[in-house]
Amino acid sequence: MSKVNQNLREENERIKKKIRTISPARLTVLVLMIAVTVLSYVFYTWLFSSDPEKSPFVEPKTGVLFFDKVLKFVPVLAKSIQSVTILLFVVTVAVICIRLSFGKTPRGVTVSSLICNLLNWLTAIVSVIIVLSAFGVDTTALITGAGVLTLVVGLGMQSLIADIVAGLFIVFENEFNVGDWVTVGDYRGEVVSIGVRTTKLKAAGNVKIINNSDLRGIVNHDTDLSVAKTLIDVDYGAKLPEVEKIIKKHVGSLKVEHATDSVAYNGVATLGASGVTLQFTCHCKESDIFDATRELNAAVKNMFDANGIDIPFPQVVVHKG
């Protein structure tokens, strides 16, 4: 029950935040639509009656032809606004229920985000059909024609269809979810949304938008813990067994705030031009890998300084003939 209450509170905060970001013009239109819907039910008979004695909009006689035609459209306009407002209310409730049902897990956020995107597209299409139907347009013929038109347009919009199909496969095959850190090509970032057509990655304040059909060779860093690694040299003149003895004595006490375990000494990585390269690693979350690497560098350097282990500078040996 506490989980449900927590989801309700989070959804409530999300809705409040969304309301605060609505522009004044959009908010005004929304308030007017709600007001017209309420008034259309209060004055239902007066607006929608077919009896000229009960409704002044059936056969208006103002003496001006233009105003008579405008008044005839008032019930139609009110009916359109009423239907669209109710549709928006139902969809909003459905979206809230979907977000609450799927919870706040990465998988749930991903699926709910995709479903909500699909609902937004369907709402726009149905709203257009409702308005046209209210104004007397034959929507049956329109929908039939749209089916043929969709087939024709679909042949020329293969990339869009490929994006949509790829997005569906990404979600249902659970390749990655919202909140995961992935690498696509040369770009590494956190997945902030998976839409019907595009996926958005965010890193260092930048958002990269990638078409779903272009997502190839993805590396998902959140399937397991990442490894922060540092390579540090010691002088060739230093005795390696003594250096390793000091390292093994103190490496367990090194503090790396963003690491999920203790620092490990992995041994000699390479024999460099100026020194013997040693490797140190620790595990961390992918989102913390840069912080953990910096902290690991500092911790190893401080350990070397405290125990008199020198880090060599590049050296050049000159032989004089």
Q: What is the pLDDT of residue 141?
A: 65
Query: How many domains does one find in the chain?
Result: 3
Parent domain of 263: 224-306
Domain end call among 201, 222, 243: 222
What is the rounded average pLDDT of the residues 29-44? 82
Residue 159 lies in a domain: no
What is the rounded average pLDDT of the residues 280-303? 91
Confidence of residue 1 (pLDDT cuts 50, 70, 90): very low
Q: Is the pLDDT of residue 26 over 80?
A: no
The verdict on 238 and 259 lying in the same domain is yes
Mean pLDDT, rounded, of the chain: 79
Residue 152 lies in a domain: no
Residue 209 lies in a domain: yes
Residue 54 lies in a domain: yes
Residue 315 lies in a domain: no
Helix axis angle, 158-172 to 139-156, nearest 10° = 90
Residue 149 lies in a domain: no
Residue 318 lies in a domain: no
The verdict on 192 and 285 lying in the same domain is no
Residue type at position 187: Y
Q: What is the pLDDT of residue 86?
A: 87
Residue type at position 78: A
The verdict on 176 and 271 lying in the same domain is no
Residue 277 lies in a domain: yes
Q: Is the pLDDT of residue 152 over 50?
A: yes
The verdict on 213 and 233 lying in the same domain is no
**pTM for this predicted structure:** 0.50
